Every structure is written in structure tokens, then in C-alpha cells.
Amino acid sequence: MALVHETLILLLLTFSTWCFSTSISTNSSTTTSLAKLPNATTAKPKRLVTKLIHQRSVHHPHYNQSETAKERIELDIQHSIARVTYLHARIEDNSSASGTLAYETLVFETSDEGSIQIPNIEFGCGRDIVYNNDPGYNGILGLNNAPMSLASQIGHKFSYCIGSLADKSSNYNQLILGEGADLEGYPTHFQALRGMYYITMEGISIGERRLDIAPATFEIKENGAGGVIIDTGSTLTYLPDDVQNLLYKEVRNILGGSFRKVIIETYPWLYCHLGVVSRDLVGFPVVTFHFAQGADLALDTGSFFEQLTDSVFCMAIGPVSATGLDNRSSVIGLLAQQSYNVGYDLVNQIVYFQRIDCQLLSG
């Protein structure tokens, strides 16, 4: 990476009120405003809380009121494919970036109208990022376990809570950085490789039925392929082709002949049917991703399906081959993490899944 070290002072960024037109890895903009630099105390904040605003939200600065559900989902697919392609490029060590790396002082307002100043935070401005052609964001907030990521520099712990992305008026999605992050729920260990979080996936169930998937399906191979990455930059989830087909076969058995199949010419790998999720899939069994140490991620119909149009819904699980890359890593996307608070302990390499209404954590 061609990087230049500079010393800069960043004006006060308050994660509180107004939308700032930059986005984090969830394709969301952080809520922020600018103010005069006060006499701030120097310390690492124990708990830094910021709202997350997804691009579908009416609170997003670039919200498009005229955009249809189909257009939103097509953008989700484009962003997801771009993101997964970028992740795979990193696995193969084919990604690169050049720009400016700075040491900056971040100053945050506190809830009691005070402020905290954090000096010498490394902060980059990328100008040429190879294999990152996603137009959906103009910046990334680094949350991996590398020393330069904001998560590592502030406190080695973070958590995020994502509600329903279909609820355009929701204002309760949030990110917490620092030792005060919400680490609750069922834990499972992760492995950090090339700046990505791999978790051990042991199987998938639909209702009480466990799918017949070979244990080695989700293992990391010697060449770096395989494994399961948990990610917020991809909206959709991508699984090995045979697993996606097996999952859809079970879905078809449950749906029976009541729903006519629909082929989407642009994305023929999408499994779609005529119907309305909220009306026609009441009682559809929960789809559960099973991880090591007994942790589960339960997907209800709002997380497992997406309403493409007023009369067509699709399974929000794609095959890895849809990205143009065969036999690569699976990626658990943002839709699958709805209705969960997901917490990361970077020191002990543990991720926590807590199913919860994000509004309960917003205080």
C-alpha cells in the first residue's frame, strides 16, 4: 500500500443528530454533526454509541422515495456481489489500496454535554481501492481485529444491533464501540483471517428438520477457500451451491404446489415465487444456522425471504457461484442478522448472538 503519514486534527464529530454522508460496512451512514472543538478530556471512551442508518431508511441522506422494492433489492444484490467479490479478492491476496494514512485526534461529545478527546487515532483516506467497485458507499469504518481498525484502537470490543431493514422508519439500529459494548447471548469462537471473521458453521435446520449437509462443507480448506465469514457489507447470504439447492428443495417441500415459481431473468439463481411474505408465509418454520459451542442464528420469514415486488418474494440466500467465483467462502449477510445484537470480543475471539428488539438497547 502506498501510504503517506501525516499529522492532522479532526474537528469534533458527534454521533448524535444529523446524517453524515459517509457509510460504514453495512452500507449505512453514521449519524453525526460538526461542532467547535472544545476543551476535551483525553481518555478512551468506555462506551461510544452511534446510530446506524441503512440506505433503505427514510433517515438516510440519500433516501430515494420513488425507488421501488424491486429496485432496492436489485441494488442489494449488486452491492452484495461486489462485497463478496472483494472479500474473495482479499482471500486470494489480490486486493490493494493506496491513499493517505494520518494520525488524527477524534473528539466525541458525551451524553452529559462534555467531551472526550482521543489522540493519535490512525485514519486513512483511500484513493485507489482495487476490487472494490461498489458504488453504494464512500467510506468504510474498520471493525476488524487489525491494530489500525477503529474497533481495536478504541477498546477491542464492539457490538451492533440490526432491526428490520424493511422498516424504513426504524431509528433503533446502533453500533457500540469500546469496553461497554453489549456482549450478551450465545457465544461462539471466531477466527480472524485477512481481516475477516470466520465462524464455525455446523449445520442448518428448517423447523425441526436438520438438513443433510456434510460436516466438511463449511470448513476452511488448505488453499484458503471455504469457511464461513460473518459480514455486514453484504445484504444477502451466500452459501455453497449444493447447500443453497438443498435448502431450496426443503423450502419447496414446505410450500408445496401452492406458490408458482417465478424466474428473474437478470438473476436466474434467485429462487422466487408468487405471493406476499407477510400474508402467505405465516407459520413458515424458522430457518436456523447452527454454530460451534451451541450458538444459533434464527431466521424468520423477514430474514430468510425478501419481497421483490408486491406479488413476488424471493429466498434471500444466493449461491457463491452467483459472484462468478466457485467453491469460495460462504458469507452470512446483514439480512440474516436482523433482530439480533451481535457482539465481538476481539481479545478472546468470541462473537455473541442475542435475539432482541433493538429498541430495548437504544436507551
Model-wide pTM > 0.85: no
In a domain, 22, yes or no: no
Q: Which residues contact 177 (CB under 8 A, 6 or more apart)?
A: 45, 47, 48, 50, 150, 151, 154, 155, 157, 158
The answer to whether 188 and 200 have CB atoms below 8 angstroms apart is yes
In a domain, 3, yes or no: no
> Looking up cell 488524527, which residue turns up?
104
In a domain, 332, yes or no: yes
CATH number of the domain to which 62 belongs: 2.40.70.10
Give me the sign of the Cα torsion angle 73, 74, 78, 84: positive
In a domain, 32, yes or no: no
Give the residue numbers spanning the domain of 296: 8-13+41-360
**Per-residue DSSP letters for 38-80?**
---EE---S-EEEEEEETTSTTSTT--TT--HHHHHHHHHHHH
pLDDT tens for the chain, residues 1 to 363: 232 323 222 222 222 222 222 233 333 333 333 333 445 566 666 788 888 887 777 877 777 778 777 777 787 887 777 777 777 666 665 555 677 778 888 787 776 767 778 888 887 776 665 545 544 455 667 788 888 888 888 889 999 999 988 887 788 899 999 989 999 999 999 999 888 899 999 999 999 999 999 989 999 988 778 899 999 888 899 999 999 999 999 999 999 888 999 998 888 999 999 999 999 999 999 999 999 999 999 999 999 999 999 999 999 999 988 877 655 789 999 999 999 999 999 999 999 999 999 999 876
The answer to whether 130 and 96 have CB atoms below 8 angstroms apart is yes
In a domain, 18, yes or no: no
| β-bridge partners, 188 | 351
Which amino acid is located at 119 in the chain? P
Cell of 140: 468504510
Q: Domain tally for the chain? A: 1
Question: What was the pLDDT predicted at 217?
Answer: 94
In a domain, 26, yes or no: no
In a domain, 24, yes or no: no
Displacement of CA 193 from its chain's centroid (Å): 17
In a domain, 31, yes or no: no
- The CA distance from 325 to 88, in Å, is 8
